[in-house]
Amino acid sequence: MLLAASEEKAVSPGDTIEVDVDVSWIHETQVNIFIETFEELGGEVWDADKAVFMIDHFPNPTSSEQADQLQLLHEYAAEKGVEVIKTGIKHQAWRSLGLARPGAIMAGPDSHTPTAGALGAFASPVGPTDTAIIWQKGKLWLTVPETIRFDIEGELDPYVTPRDIGFYILEQHSAESDYFAESRTVEYAGPTIQKMGLDGRQTLCNMGTEMGVTNAYIEPDETLRIEYLDPKVNEEYTIYRSDDDADFERRHRVDVDGLRPKVAYPHSPSNVRDVKEAEGIELDQLFLGSCANGHLSDLQVAAEILEGREIDDSVDFIVTPATDEIRKQASADGTLDTFVQAGARISSGYCSACPGYEGVLASGERCLATSTRNYRGRMGHRDSEIYLASPATVAASAITGEITDPTGESYR
């Protein structure tokens, strides 16, 4: 894939090459610093069809500084003739808009960029200077990564989800390093992946970021073609397959039969334990959303658990569908109604509570979230605590007000 995007004749892991970028973006928090660097380089967009401004961190500004930032973004985009997209979190918006495609090189300043590897793209986060160079020249230098492959087999029990598989992988490798796949490609394959829907695949690729990856990848298959490529993608694309004799740096078999729900304790996504150990930890807030778990099937599994039940009086529960499209689908099928009737608050189409844009935690407060990360202070006060879990675990825990095993009976 990288070979095709470069002018090289052959590439191997460790080679540093230059590739042509197909999609790049800037979002509203980065506008000022980007403009400065980009204008220094010349300020001429290499291809206005390949660059976009994304509004997904504070589409509904809550301060005049944020409102000013959005205004600046709109004015600058108009000046440069570049489209502004405000339809939800970019990693899910690529899918609703058909912008990610097999073989495409996608690069920009957002750490969860690897999510689009589930749609067959080479998608990698880069720094601000990199992005300014991409927008000026359309080029990115990169070192071809080694690949770590996970062959996943077995069947998940009800209310054990793809997020739990990701936690399990982080748990297995956390003794090596919090970023055991630093600068690598993580590829997911095997029968469990073949049966998994695109939402779960995106969750797993998204979690590559917490493993330290350059990019994550799932080979395009019939599921991708039927659910995504045929209905959504208009541009041409090329599907690249791992060579049969591909040299993986490491290859791990993961058996998910009998896997139990997992919880990541503060303050690292790799600090993973079984939900059984965490049961009974009292909560102040719950959050269902983010680019890791704001998909339709994430909302649906949570709503199934909440159907006909109410959340505990002592907790707040924020639910944020990742995009406008997902919000509409979840409205049409009654999912959102279940949340509203259960006592949750619904917001929409942005990062929401994950990096603390709403539901900010005070000192000593505790949140169970489907967020990407639980670094110290990410959702508010330094001395607040963030636990991470799957949508099913968050829903069951919202009912009881404490961390609860969704596969158990205690909340029913």
Partner 1 sequence: MRDVVGAVWRFGDDIDTDVIVPSQYMRYEADRYAQHVMEPIAPDFADKVEQGDIVVAGRNFGIGSSREHAAIGLQRAGVGLVIAKSFGRIFYRNAINQGLPALIADEETIDDIEEGDELAVNVFAGTVESRTTGEDYMLEAPDGLIRDILLVGGAKRYYSD
Contact present, 390 and 163 (Cβ < 8 Å): yes
| Closest to partner 1 by CB, 44 or 310 | 44
Between the alpha carbon of residue 147 and those of residues 273, 299, 326, the distances in Å are 27, 32, 32
Q: Which of 43, 61, 98, 128 binds partner 1 (CB under 8 A)?
A: 128
Q: Is 16 in the site for partner 1 (CB under 8 A)?
A: yes
Contact present, 110 and 126 (Cβ < 8 Å): no
Q: Which of 80, 137, 225, 267 binds partner 1 (CB under 8 A)?
A: 137
| Shortest CB 342 distance to partner 1, Å | 35
Stretch that binds partner 1, among 177-185, 227-235, 247-255, 380-388 (CB under 8 A): 177-185
Distance separating alpha carbons of residues 5 and 139, to the nearest angstrom:
10
Distance separating alpha carbons of residues 199 and 156, to the nearest angstrom:
15
- Name the strand (E) or helix (H) holding 317: strand 316-319
| Tokens 């778990």 sit on residue | 293
Stretch that binds partner 1, among 135-143, 154-162, 350-358, 384-392 (CB under 8 A): 135-143
Q: Is 141 in the site for partner 1 (CB under 8 A)?
A: yes
| Closest to partner 1 by CB, 123 or 132 | 132
| Shortest CB 178 distance to partner 1, Å | 7
Q: Is 266 in the site for partner 1 (CB under 8 A)?
A: no
- Tell me the backbone φ, ψ of residue 92, rounded to 5 degrees: -95, -30
For CA atoms 322, 167, 118, 128, give the dihedral sign: positive
| Closest to partner 1 by CB, 126 or 233 | 126
Stretch that binds partner 1, among 12-20, 49-57, 251-259, 320-328 (CB under 8 A): 12-20
Q: Is 383 in the site for partner 1 (CB under 8 A)?
A: no
Q: Which of 83, 182, 255, 282 binds partner 1 (CB under 8 A)?
A: 182
Count the helix, strand and coil residues of the chain and give each as a percent rounded to the nearest 5: 35, 20, 45
Q: Is 98 in the site for partner 1 (CB under 8 A)?
A: no
Q: Which of 12, 62, 177, 410 binds partner 1 (CB under 8 A)?
A: 177
Q: Which of 126, 264, 278, 303 binds partner 1 (CB under 8 A)?
A: 126
Cα 355 from chain centre: 13
Q: Is 111 in the site for partner 1 (CB under 8 A)?
A: yes
The β-bridge partners of 316 are 285
Cβ neighbors of 171 (< 8 A, separation 6 or more) are 262, 270, 272, 273
Residues lying near partner 1 in the complex (CB under 8 A): 15-18, 37, 40-42, 109, 111, 125-130, 132-133, 136-137, 139, 141, 143, 177-179, 182-183, 212, 214
